[in-house]
Structure 1
Amino acid sequence: MIGYVCKYTPFHIMEAFGEKAVKIDPNVRGFDKAETLMHPNICTYAKAVLEECINSNIYNLVLVNCCDSIKRLYDVLKTDERFKFVYLIDVPRKRNKASDLMMKKQITNFIEAMEEYTGSKFDDDKFINLVNSCSEPKIENNSNINLAIMGSRIKDSTIKQITDAGAGVNFNFTCTGDFSRTTKLNKNEDYLLSYSAFLLNSFPCMRMVENDDRINVLNENLGNIDGIIYHTTKFCDAYSFEYAKLKDSISIPMLKIETDYTEKGNGQMKTRIEAFVETLKTKNNNSEKIKKNSSNSTNADILVAGIDSGSTSTNVVIMNKNREILSSSIARTGAKSQNGAEAAMKEALEKLNLTRDKLTKIISTGYGRVSIPFADEEVTEITCHGKAAYFLNNSVRTIIDIGGQDSKAIKLDNKGNVIDFAMNDKCAAGTGRFLEMMSRSLEVPLNEMGEKSLDWKEDIDITSMCSVFAESEVVSLIAQNKEIPDIIHGLNKAVSTKTAALVNRVGKEEGYMMTGGVAKNVGVVKCLEEKLQSKIFIPEEPQIVGAIGAALIALEEE
């Protein structure tokens, strides 16, 4: 068995020697083993490949000189005695006749290396048959939502998240995608030269000098695509340039996601992907929903519930067919999201003297939405906040939601549909958790921090938004005998700066609403209003907005 990582790899050569060629799709939770052999700042994909090889006992590997990190991986593997066969192919960066000849030389050298490693002679007949028997990949798509994936290499698990969200991947234009061509080799011709040209003329990755085919093919197929998910790998900037170019030139919706090739961020990635797909479905199905909703409007017995399971609190709203909020509750999520959901639902039902079986439909949303067994359906908080914001104030165009775990900026059109959104990365900076940590350091109750900050005198800047480093800064300021209101005001400014950056990513537009527990912090709201130079609408109870949206969606589906 020989592993490989790049589509420019001549894996047919390996198979012609009777070796099983395995394309490595790293599925790792961390880099415990890799970081003992490589520097922590090396590309996360290179480390993921090394971690996967060690975990899966893949000790034969063929690499391509696609970047400095992969070349560094090659250096590490060559010095590790566990790896028996490690080979680096120097693929040209241009696609022309001279490059074909250079690639043929690389393949010839590779064949010689394989003969030495296996002790077998190269079987050209077997090789030609293997290449000629390949067929173009067929993509099955039974969904009404057709997506294209672009950008850098993407994990199979991420593609599964996309299909699980209800979308079909019509085109995989990533550098490990299956958009490829077939070729037919003839033994009476220079078949290795033909094979070299075939490899080099694959759908080009960003390492190639001429890679305009990527955008050209996309433009040719825009009529069959509802949206684009653009994937980048953390710390690898090459594809970010293409994304910026596409965002300015492509009119269809596009979501940019970034991964570090571990499974740690799957929860947040799930939310982003599902919210994007929900947005596309809303565009396609609005008229059907309106018709369906109006046909059920005479049913007087409809009672629905929305439940928003967040990292800090779980909120429930019970609503009737007239879209009147009959009951609501806010409970701590605690150590287990299901228990928090049970408690919040019980409280909301008890206010109406009802049992759960009286509810026609329950829709869950929020961070723990997948962990609520009594919910009939789950919808992302992006969609729910958009639905509720427009319901509460139809002049809202930009929603700022700061919860315990993450922050979001959501942009609406004039009908209340989500047209864009941005979320913070895997960091507590700028979230309710950040303020909660600072509350403990300052020994000020969280619910008093907002009012206390209004009495600030000295304008202090908290320079670090990392929760750990910011806490160290706060401790240092306390040691300098700085006043507590001044420190809190500095923290509020830091949170507002981080949040304003999210708003800028979706495009500033007047008509702001703030939701989530941090919306109750008057100090943060005031600082954010100064940053945005605009007033922010705060709902009567900002913590239940997500649950309101879930209940509204439940009504639409009844």
Structure 2
Amino acid sequence: MIGYLCKYAPVEVLSALGATMHQICPNVKSFPHADTLMHANQCSFVKAVVEDFMENDYEGLILTSCCDSTRRLYDALSSNFPDKFIYLLDLPRKVNDFSESLYLDEILAMIEAYGKFTDTSFSISEMEEALHRILSIQETSDCHPAHPTATIGLMGARPHPQIREMIAQQNIRIAFDLTCTGLIRQFPCKGQDVLKSYVHQLLNQMPCMRMINASNRQNYVRGFDGQLDGIVYHTIQFCDLYSYEYAAMKDDLAIPVLSMETDATTLSYGQVRTRMEAFFESISHKPSIQIMSKGTDTMYVLGIDSGSTSTNAVILDEKKQIVASYVTRTGAKATDSALRAVKEVLSLAHLKKEDLSRIISTGYGRVSLPFADDTITEITCHGKGAFFLNPSVRTILDIGGQDSKAIRLNDNGDVIDFVMNDKCAAGTGRFLEMMARSLEIDLASLGRLSLASKENLTISSMCSVFAESEVISLIAQNKETADIARGVVRSIASKSISLIKRINPAPGYMMTGGVAQNEGVVLELKEQLGEEIYLPPSPEIVGALGAAILGLEQ
């Protein structure tokens, strides 16, 4: 089995030579092998390829000179695995007759090298006959569900198969796939010179961002005007070529564009799932569900928000009146905490589970609650709950236990844009817990203590671990606890403001989530924003409230 990465790799030629080809889509959690063979600052994708290559039985790997990281991948593997067929093709950036002849020469050289590797003599005419047969039986495949809830374009660099699986699970139609690995390979044979025709069509695919004529991509997308509900744009961290295109697309198109950047590991896919599902919820056209009350003449709906720190439950009646709410700490198992919250909120409402017409779950643990009738992301739910509490709200900052979100609403209360922090505790409730622990004070008193500060101290690190080291250093300098606490809340406010600025915020601010109860953070946010911030009476239940409202609307 020979692996390959790039859509410009001559997969069909090697198949004609008898090789079994496999597109490498790494599914790794860390880089223990790559950190040994390569510099730690190398691209996360090529490090993931090293892990996949070393953990599977590959005969070789075909690479193209698409970037410096790929060249370093070739250097590392070819020097460490001399018994494998590691081959690097020099891929031209322009597409014309001359570049096609150059790439044809590259492929012919590869064929010769593969013959030496397998100790086999290849007849070009026999190889071309085999190539002709392979090209003649290629089949086209695409994502065309019978009754799609939305139509999107998929763009960017190397989306993990899980991303395509998530799209399929949401019954979303993919109108086009312009990712660097996702175009349909269908090269019809033309003329007698099969190999030359093949190279021409290989290079004349819709170009990737490395190619000179990449501007054609935007013209292609414009051709779908009126046919798309949105675009999902995925990039690998530090793959700047695609970052530039995303920025241009977002400015140029009048449809929603979801940007996601991952580090090529599976550890980020909890957040990826939340972002994608929230995006699909904002663009999908789902039919209403007709449901009759199960046990009483009044309809009751339960919304439950299974978060990383707390589990919150709200019961609404058909008039959207809050019948009962309950908040409990999320323990070691999300399901146990959720069951406890359901039991307690039903008791407070003097209801039985059979009295509920619908249960909607949200939050990070939403998929782990088998008793829920539907799952909806916390982004959509916080937007719905916030707008219900205050219809003048247009910008929401939700700071929870393990992530922060900035959410933009339109005049109808629909989510039109959102951003989430990366998989880092900086700027979250966990961050505050770590700092309070270092200061040996109660978390609830940290914000109040910060109001007594007399000296401006700065916590500069964007990393929670390093920020904790800064706090310990300030403690060693005998700085006042109140001054350090002020530096902590100023740090979390600054990170939150950076998040808010990414969604083109509008006046009408609300803060939700448990951190909204920290008066020090709220005061810093008001000062840095220069705007008032509406605080709901119980900010931690806004997500569960929104879930219940959405259940009633269903």
After TM superposition, the structure 1 stretch with the greater mean CA deviation from structure 2, 305-314 or 212-221, is 212-221
The answer on whether the counterparts of 2:511 and 2:534 sit within 8 Å (CA) in structure 1 is yes
1:531 Cα deviation (Å)?
Answer: 1.2
What CA deviation, in whole Å up to 9, does each residue of 1:323-346 have, x standing for no partner? 110111100001110111111111
Contact 2:142 2:174 in 1 (8 A): no
2:59 matched residue in structure 1: 59
Partner of 1:86: 86
The corresponding residue for 1:516 is 513
The answer to whether the 8 A contact 1:128-1:186 is kept is: no
1:224 to 2:227 alignment: yes
Match of 2:355 in 1: 358
Is 1:121 the equivalent of 2:122? yes
Is 1:458 matched with 2:459? no
Q: How far is 1:62 from its partner?
A: 0.8
Q: 1:261-272 counterparts in 2 under 5 A? A: 261-272=264-275
1:237 pairs, out of 227, 236, 240, with 240
Match of 1:41 in 2: 41
Aligned residue in 2 for 1:139: 143
Correspondence for 2:157: 152
Contact 1:165/1:273 (<8 A) preserved: no
Find the aligned partners of 1:512 and 1:269 in 2 and give their Cα distance: 26
CA distance in 2, matches of 1:166, 1:429: 34
Mapped pair 1:477 → 2:474: yes
Q: SS state of the match for residue 86, structure 2?
A: strand
- Bigger mean CA offset, 156-165 vs 230-239: 156-165
1:174 matched to 2:179:
yes
Q: CA deviation at 1:135?
A: 4.2
Task: Indicate the larger mover: 173-182 or 199-208.
Answer: 173-182
Alignment of 1:109-508 (within 5 A): 109-118=109-118, 119-122=120-123, 123=126, 124-142=128-146, 143-179=148-184, 182-187=187-192, 190-281=193-284, 284=285, 289=288, 300-508=297-505
* Amino acid in structure 2 at the alignment position of 1:134: Q
Deviation at 1:39, TM superposition (A): 1.5
Distance 2:446 2:439 in 1: 10
1:532 to 504, 510, 529: 529
Distance 1:365 1:327 in 2: 18
Q: Deviations over 1:101-124 (max 9, x none)?
A: 111111111111122222131422
Q: Is the 8 A contact 2:398 2:511 kept in 1?
A: yes
Deviations 1:211-237 (A, max 9, x none): 112111111123321100011101211
| Other-structure match for 1:72 | 72
1:478 alignment partner, SS class:
helix
**Structure 1 residues 429 and 542, CA gap change in structure 2 (3 angstroms):** same
**CA positional deviation for 1:186:** 3.0
Using the alignment, how far apart are the partners of 2:260 and 2:102 within structure 1? 36
- Deviations for 1:299-358, whole angstroms, at most 9, x for unmatched residues? 942111100000000000011111110111100001110111111111111112322222
Q: Assess if the C-alpha contact under 8 Å between 2:402 and 2:430 holds in 1.
A: yes
Following the alignment from structure 1 to structure 2, what is the Cα–Cα distance between the partners of residues 55 and 261? 16
**Distance in 1 (alpha carbons) for counterparts of 2:225 and 2:2:** 38
Provide the rounded CA distance (Å) in 2 between the counterparts of 1:354 and 1:526: 40
Superposition deviation, residue 474 in structure 1: 0.3
User: Does residue 3 of the first structure (1) align with residue 3 of the second (2)?
Assistant: yes
Q: Percent identity?
A: 48
**One-letter amino acid of the structure 1 residue matched with residue 160 of structure 2:** K
Structure 1 CA distance for aligned equivalents of residues 184 and 502 of structure 2: 31
Q: How many residues align?
A: 547
1:199 counterpart letter in structure 2: L
Q: TM-score, normalised by structure 2?
A: 0.96
Distance 1:3 1:522, change over 3 A: same
State the alpha-carbon separation in 2 of the partners of residues 366 and 382 from structure 1: 9
Deviation at 1:22, TM superposition (A): 1.1
CA–CA distance in structure 1, aligned partners of residues 220 and 165 of structure 2: 24
Deviation at 1:180, TM superposition (A): 5.1
User: Contact 2:514/2:540 (CA < 8 Å) preserved in 1?
Assistant: yes
Mapped contact 2:153–2:177 kept (Cα < 8 A): yes
**Secondary structure, aligned partner of 1:471:** helix
Equivalent pair of 1:292/1:556 in contact (CA under 8 Å): no
* Match of residue 550 from structure 1: 547
Whole-Å Cα distance in 1 between the matches of residues 315 and 82 of structure 2?
Answer: 61
| Whole-angstrom distance in 1 between the partners of 2:198 and 2:553 | 56
Question: What code does the residue aligned with 1:121 have?
Answer: F
Helix, strand or coil for the counterpart of 1:240? helix
Contact residue 394 and residue 505 of structure 2 kept, 8 A: no
Distance (Å, rounded) in 2 between the aligned partners of 1:11 and 1:334 = 50
Point out the more displaced range, 9-18 or 510-519.
Answer: 9-18
1:59 is displaced (CA, Å) by: 3.5
Runs of 4+ in 1 over 6 A off after TM superposition: none
Task: Give, in angstroms, the shift of residue 24 of structure 1.
Answer: 1.1
Distance 1:321 1:345, change over 3 A: same
Partners of 2:441 and 2:527 in 1: CA distance: 24
* Alpha-carbon contact 2:143-2:168 (below 8 Å) kept: no
Distance 2:137 2:307 in 1: 52
Instruction: Summarize the Cα distance change of 1:82–1:116 in structure 2 as closer, same or farther, 3 Å threshold.
Output: closer
The residue matched to 2:32 in structure 1 has which SS?
Answer: coil
Q: Deviations over 1:404-462 (max 9, x none)?
A: 01000000011111111010000000000000000100011011111111111101111
Q: 2: distance between equivalents of 1:192 and 1:128? A: 9
SS in 2 for 1:202: coil
SS state at 1:308 partner? strand
Q: Match for 2:178: what amino acid?
A: F
Gaps in structure 2 of 5+ consecutive residues: none
**Aligned in 2, Cα 1:372/1:138: closer, same or farther, shift over 3 Å?**
closer
Matches of 2:217 and 2:106, distance apart in 1: 25
For structure 1, which runs of at least 5 residues remain unmatched after alignment?
A: none
Query: 1:60-105: per-residue Cα shift (whole Å, max 9, x none)?
Result: 1111111111111111111123752111110111011111111111
Moved more, 178-187 or 166-175: 178-187
